[in-house]
Amino acid sequence: MSRINPRAVLLGLAAPVGALLFAAAFCAVVLAVTGHSAGDAVDAMVAASQRPRTFVNSINSAVQYYLAAVAVAIGFRMKLFNIGVDGQYRLAAMLSAALAGASFMEGLPSVLRVAMTIAAAMLVGAAWSGFAALLKVTRGVSEVISTIMLNSIATFLVSYLLNPDRLALENPGSNNVSTPPIGVGGQVPGIPVAGSSSDLFGLLFLAAAVGVVYWFVLSRTRFGFELKATGLSESAAVASGVSVKRMVVWSMLLSGAVAGLVGMPQLLGSSYSYSLDFPTGIGFIGIAVALLGRNNPVGMALAALLWGFLNNTSNSLDISNIPREIIGIMQGIIVLSVVIAYELVRRYRVRAEQRDVGRALGRTKAATAEEVSA
């Protein structure tokens, strides 16, 4: 839009900020009631925020959350709920780790190795989400149900494959099982940060690029337009020449491909192999982050940072004798109150807009009271 409407900006900020404040207040009350000091909690979090290591870890977490959120958001744009990002990234990380660690990769140039690993992960992610898409377009099976099932099936498949008889390494004496380690040439170097022992993920830039591409595709391309149109009204989209089935397939595939990336920063920047303790559950965090960021590329980045920070303060809270479980409550409250706040703001905006239309058309009586009829 040509003009920046201050009201729109204000309203856009009101919801998340209001929800955050509400969640913080709620948690403070919970802490106080259960005999903890909210002040200590704040101190602990402030202290954490000033520690370079927490900073790095938060950003690194955020990078993964962001990728997961984008994957979720692609579907959300057309009201398609890819709950299966979790299974998709785990399977993708596992298989691409096996590929990256395979001995024949050793001879290849580094860039090619990394590119192949990432491409493999995207393919696997897309293939796994493709199942859900296929079931939906051919058989009308809700993707909510099928992706939930596929998540569980992915778990079993990964444990089947992560076995010395198959893709994992024979590693006697270790209590962990993992794929062959990825050699230096297959790794993505991190960015050192002063005062922190861990580096920022090099694939931070990949996440940023994904964000830019996401923004561009959705707001500037025909595909993005059709995705949005389908989300707003499937019937109108069909009448306008959009093939909804094709949109379902493409958005699921794209979502799965991005989901495949979720495990890459960790795999290529820190773990260098897929093992039993590879982080899980990021797909579900992605859903929360996408909701919080309203599928907006910048909004999701901020939300991912918030989530990353919150999840990396648990150690500090623990040290200060604040139950870190409060973080879980806080996150739940944030999401619940933010969606309610968005809804309230949306209603307010619609009414305000209609009032504007009415005023422009001279149909409103001059001094009608601010009737709010909802």
Ligand X SMILES: Nc1ncnc2c1ncn2[C@@H]1O[C@H](COP(=O)(O)OP(=O)(O)OP(=O)(O)O)[C@@H](O)[C@H]1O
The listed partner (ligand X, other proteins, none) that binds 215, CB under 5 to 8 Å by sort, is: none
According to the binding rule CB under 8 A, does residue 54 interact with other proteins? yes
According to the binding rule CB under 8 A, does residue 192 interact with other proteins? no
Give 191 or 357: the residue with its C-beta nearer to ligand X. Answer: 357
Measure CA of the first residue to CA of the last residue in the chain; give whole Å. 29
According to the binding rule CB under 8 A, does residue 144 interact with other proteins? yes
Q: How far is the CB of 85 from other proteins (least distance, A)?
A: 12
According to the binding rule CB under 6 A, does residue 357 interact with ligand X? yes
Map the footprint of other proteins across residues 3-32, applying CB under 8 A. Answer: 30
Q: How far is the CB of 107 from other proteins (least distance, A)?
A: 27
Interface with other proteins (CB under 8 A), residue from 22, 38, 53, 169: 53
According to the binding rule CB under 6 A, does residue 354 interact with ligand X? yes
- 3 state DSSP class of 57: helix
Q: How far is the CB of 257 from other proteins (least distance, A)?
A: 18
According to the binding rule CB under 8 A, does residue 277 interact with other proteins? yes
According to the binding rule CB under 6 A, does residue 221 interact with ligand X? no
Give 102 or 351: the residue with its C-beta nearer to other proteins. Answer: 351
According to the binding rule CB under 8 A, does residue 281 interact with other proteins? yes
> Residue 301 carries which side chain, given as an amino acid letter?
A
Distances (CA, A) of 368 to 126, 345, 365, 372: 55, 22, 6, 11
Of 268, 270, 93, the closest CA to residue 167 belongs to 93
- 3 state DSSP class of 178: strand
According to the binding rule CB under 8 A, does residue 235 interact with other proteins? yes
According to the binding rule CB under 8 A, does residue 333 interact with other proteins? yes
**Cα dihedral 275, 281, 287, 293 sign:** negative
Please tell me the distance from the alpha carbon of residue 114 to that of residue 185, in angstroms, as a whole number. 8
Residue nearest to ligand X (CB): 354
Query: Which of these segments, 10-18, 120-128, 297-305, 361-369, binds other proteins (CB under 8 A)?
Result: 361-369
Distances (CA, A) of 64 to 76, 282, 332: 18, 7, 19
Q: Are 327 and 317 in contact (CB under 8 A)?
A: yes
According to the binding rule CB under 8 A, does residue 45 interact with other proteins? no
The listed partner (ligand X, other proteins, none) that binds 239, CB under 5 to 8 Å by sort, is: other proteins
Give 115 or 163: the residue with its C-beta nearer to other proteins. Answer: 163
Please tell me the distance from the alpha carbon of residue 259 to that of residue 216, in angstroms, as a whole number. 18
Q: How far is the CB of 122 from other proteins (least distance, A)?
A: 20
Please tell me the distance from the alpha carbon of residue 20 to that of residue 367, in angstroms, as a whole number. 36
Instruction: Compute the residue count for the chain.
Output: 374
Directed axis angle between helix 282-292 and helix 85-101, to 10°?
130
Please tell me the distance from the alpha carbon of residue 321 to that of residue 41, in angstroms, as a whole number. 9
Residue 91-110 contact track with other proteins, rule CB under 8 A, x = bound: --------------------
Please tell me the distance from the alpha carbon of residue 161 to that of residue 164, in angstroms, as a whole number. 8
- For 46, residues 6+ apart whose C-beta sits below 8 A from its C-beta are none
Interface with other proteins (CB under 8 A), residue from 189, 205, 221, 298: 221
Among all chains, which residue has been given the structure tokens 């989400």?
A: 129
Q: Are 203 and 190 in contact (CB under 8 A)?
A: no
Query: Which of these segments, 122-130, 179-187, 296-304, 317-325, binds other proteins (CB under 8 A)?
Result: 317-325
Phi, psi values for residue 212, rounded to 5°: -65, -45
Q: How far is the CB of 359 from ligand X (least distance, A)?
A: 11
Q: How far is the CB of 108 from other proteins (least distance, A)?
A: 26
The listed partner (ligand X, other proteins, none) that binds 232, CB under 5 to 8 Å by sort, is: other proteins
Query: Which of these segments, 96-104, 253-261, 297-305, 364-372, binds other proteins (CB under 8 A)?
Result: 364-372
Give 112 or 357: the residue with its C-beta nearer to ligand X. Answer: 357
According to the binding rule CB under 6 A, does residue 356 interact with ligand X? no
Phi, psi values for residue 75, rounded to 5°: -70, -45
Please tell me the distance from the alpha carbon of residue 289 to that of residue 154, in angstroms, as a whole number. 23
Tokens of 182: 């990825």
Applying CB under 6 A, the residues found at the interface with ligand X are 354, 357
